[in-house]
């Protein structure tokens, strides 16, 4: 007889850092307009890698809780404590989203990114996209451990073509979670990755040709299998 076990949810380091900073704001240790310690110092104090600190600060900055000024540092914005607490709760809620929510959000963003990339790309942008495309193809050929990262670097290069900083920021927020989920759930097989090379090349051509409708169509076909995988994983019927 199969026994159902309750899943153990492990909180991400970046979420723990955000929660700790929330507590410091609530207790008045961190006050509005107060400058935070440098990233290196926070890393030492929290006992985590600097990449986790950077991810937490980036999320808090995107939501308007922190602000960074060159040569001045990163500081808490001049909002009331209650408003800041509410915004932080929203970030932590986003961090706990399920795999399907992440993929559905990614698809929504990337369809628009593909359209804008085809319309707004420059010759310099195309060089960057081609470089990331070649890097992904090489990673698949060598079956290297960073295939997923190289894949996302290609997709993020399209954000540069799209010339929309908000879309890029949203992609940067959800990308770390998606990457970890991809590895844990083994979403893509070797055959899937080889097919992705053809789809990436077709998408690149549509962007070169500035065919926005074709770019959106290719992106939709490219991401649809991942969306279907996520639906089946959660047994969703919508």
Q: Retrieve residue 34's tokens.
A: 């107060």
Contact between residue 92 and residue 109 where contact means Cβ atoms under 8 Å apart: no
Q: Residue 55's beta-bridge partner residues?
A: none
Average pLDDT over residues 187-210: 85
Tens-digit pLDDT profile for residues 151-194: 888 998 999 999 998 888 888 777 766 766 665 555 555 667 77
Location of each CATH 1.20.120.530 domain in the chain: 99-233
- Top pLDDT among 94 and 24 is at 24
Q: Which CATH superfamily is domain 99-233 in?
A: GntR ligand-binding domain-like (1.20.120.530)
Average pLDDT over residues 76-85: 61
* pLDDT band, very low/low/confident/very high, at 79 (cuts 50, 70, 90): low
Q: What pLDDT is recorded for position 128?
A: 94
Q: How far is CA 159 from the centre of its chain?
A: 12
Residue 212 has pLDDT above 60, yes or no: yes
Tell me the pTM.
0.63
Contact between residue 189 and residue 229 where contact means Cβ atoms under 8 Å apart: no
Q: Retrieve residue 194's tokens.
A: 């080889």
Contact between residue 66 and residue 55 where contact means Cβ atoms under 8 Å apart: no
Contact between residue 182 and residue 188 where contact means Cβ atoms under 8 Å apart: yes
Residue 40 has pLDDT above 70, yes or no: yes
C-alpha closest to that of 107 among 226, 190, 4: 226
Please report how the helices 81-95 and 13-26 are oriented relative to each other, as an axis angle in degrees rounded to 10: 170
Location of each CATH 1.10.10.10 domain in the chain: 13-95
- Class at the top of the CATH hierarchy for domain 13-95: mainly alpha
**How many C-beta atoms lie closer than 10 Å to residue 175's C-beta?**
17
**Summary count for the chain: helices (H), strands (E):** 10, 2
* pLDDT band, very low/low/confident/very high, at 80 (cuts 50, 70, 90): low
Average pLDDT over residues 108-116: 96
112 by Cβ neighbours in 10 Å (0-12 / 13-18 / 19+) ranks as middle
Average pLDDT over residues 18-22: 83
DSSP letter (8 states) at residue 144: -
């Amino acid at each position: 007889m199969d026994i159902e076990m309750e899943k153990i949810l492990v909180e991400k380091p970046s979420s723990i850092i955000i929660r700790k900073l929330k507590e410091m704001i609530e207790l008045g240790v961190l006050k509005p307009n107060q400058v935070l310690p440098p990233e290196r110092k926070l890393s030492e104090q929290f006992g985590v890698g600097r990449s986790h600190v950077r991810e937490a600060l980036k999320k808090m900055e995107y939501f308007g809780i922190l602000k960074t000024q060159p040569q001045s540092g990163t500081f808490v914005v001049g909002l009331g404590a209650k408003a800041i607490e509410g915004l932080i709760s929203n970030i932590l809620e986003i961090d706990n989203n399920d795999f399907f929510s992440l993929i559905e959000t990614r698809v929504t963003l990337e369809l628009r990114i593909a359209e804008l990339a085809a319309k707004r790309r420059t010759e310099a942008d195309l060089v960057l996209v081609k470089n990331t495309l070649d890097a992904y193809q090489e990673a698949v050929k060598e079956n290297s451990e960073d295939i997923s990262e190289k894949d996302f670097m290609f997709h993020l290069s399209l954000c540069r073509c799209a010339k929309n900083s908000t879309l890029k920021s949203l992609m940067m927020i959800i990308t770390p979670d998606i990457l970890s989920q991809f590895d844990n759930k083994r979403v893509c097989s070797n055959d899937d990755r080889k097919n992705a090379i053809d789809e990436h090349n077709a998408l690149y051509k549509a962007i070169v040709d500035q065919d926005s409708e074709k770019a959106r169509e290719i992106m939709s076909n490219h991401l649809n299998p991942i969306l279907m995988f996520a639906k089946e994983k959660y047994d969703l019927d919508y």
